[in-house]
Structure 1
Amino acid sequence: MFVKNVTRKRLLASSSKICSSFFSRSRGLMFSSKIKDKAYVLAFPEEERVDLHMFFVFFPIDVLFVDKRKKVVEIKKGFQPFTTYSARKKARYVIELPEGAAGNSRIGDRIEFFDVSESESGKKVRVSEI
């Protein structure tokens, strides 16, 4: 699944892992090798203030907090290993990206999650969105 900042017309990740269960959200990037052009999307059942930790994550990341309308409400760049962070705003999605991948993303930007597939006519079409 692609993750795109529609406002800035910038692809944030060409692949992603959707973490929608309590266990997968809790584990997140723990014990993972460095992510490259991949996003971890923590999807919550409803908007909430999210507390994150970087225990057993050995590399810094950028984090976008996105509300139910898919608007960025908070950004944490350079989130360091073995630290914690408590979001000030409620989010429905938390997008964990390689450090620097958040780039010029700003509060209020619209984020889109989608897959692309080829139709029978050979055209590429969006096939799903979370």
Structure 2
Amino acid sequence: MNQSQETKSAGDDKSKRNDCNIRKTVRNQKRDTKLADKLEVAGSGPKRSKGLLGRKNLGPGEGLWIIPCEAVHTFFMQFPIDLVYLDRKYRVKKICAIVPAWRFSACLSAHSVLELPAGTIQDSQTQVGDILEIVDSELVAEPCSL
């Protein structure tokens, strides 16, 4: 087995893991602020398509990391959210604060997007160009809420 096959196999094993049971913590390295500590990962087709639809709100520290993703909509959403678009190195490419329902947002240079409670961008002082750190924070036993 060559190196590219080994890498592909390792990635396949990770993709089979139930990533919705792993919560992430997101910190802004430059500003030493926390954006989320209960971030759920949406890496599969169904989870990415559903996003936050059906949720009534996002609590403090909660959020959704959609990966890969260059664009999102807030059609049928029941609450406003903050959007933070990231490149593959977690550099902030674009921010959209307090995005209400019935909006579309895109950043073609992004690889993923964080959907966070409205006000998170302001509270964390996050700006375009900042580099975020995303690490595992906890493993939960209950099924995903998404």
Q: TM range, normalised to the smaller chain? A: 0.7 to 0.9
Identify if the C-alpha distance between structure 1 residues 23 and 67 changes in structure 2 by more than 3 Å, giving closer, same or farther.
same
Segments of 5+ residues of structure 2 without an aligned counterpart are 1-23, 139-146
Instruction: After TM superposition, list the pairs within 5 Å mapping 1:24-43 onto structure 2.
Output: 24-36=47-59, 37-43=61-67
Higher helix fraction (1 or 2): 2
Identify if the C-alpha distance between structure 1 residues 116 and 23 changes in structure 2 by more than 3 Å, giving closer, same or farther.
closer
TM-score (norm 2): 0.72
Residue equivalent to 2:87? 67
Instruction: After TM superposition, list the pairs within 5 Å mapping 1:111-126 onto structure 2.
Output: 111-116=132-137
Higher strand fraction (1 or 2): 1
How far apart are the structure 2 equivalents of 1:113 and 1:38? Answer: 13
Select the structure of larger CA radius of gyration. Answer: 2
How far apart are the structure 1 equivalents of 2:39 and 2:84? Answer: 14
Deviations 1:77-101 (A, max 9, x none): 11111222232x4211200000000
Q: In the alignment, is residue 17 of structure 1 matched against residue 40 of structure 2?
A: yes
Q: CA deviation at 1:52?
A: 1.3
Q: In the alignment, is residue 76 of structure 1 matched against residue 96 of structure 2?
A: yes
Given candidates 130, 135, 143, the residue that maps to 1:109 is 130
TM-score (norm 1): 0.80
How far apart are the structure 2 equivalents of 1:24 and 1:32? Answer: 13
Residue equivalent to 2:119? 100
Q: Which runs of 4+ in 1 moved over 4 A?
A: none
> Aligned pair count?
112
Segments of 5+ residues of structure 1 without an aligned counterpart are 118-130
Deviations 1:23-64 (A, max 9, x none): 2111101011200120100011xxx6x221112211001000
Q: Percent identity between the aligned chains?
A: 27
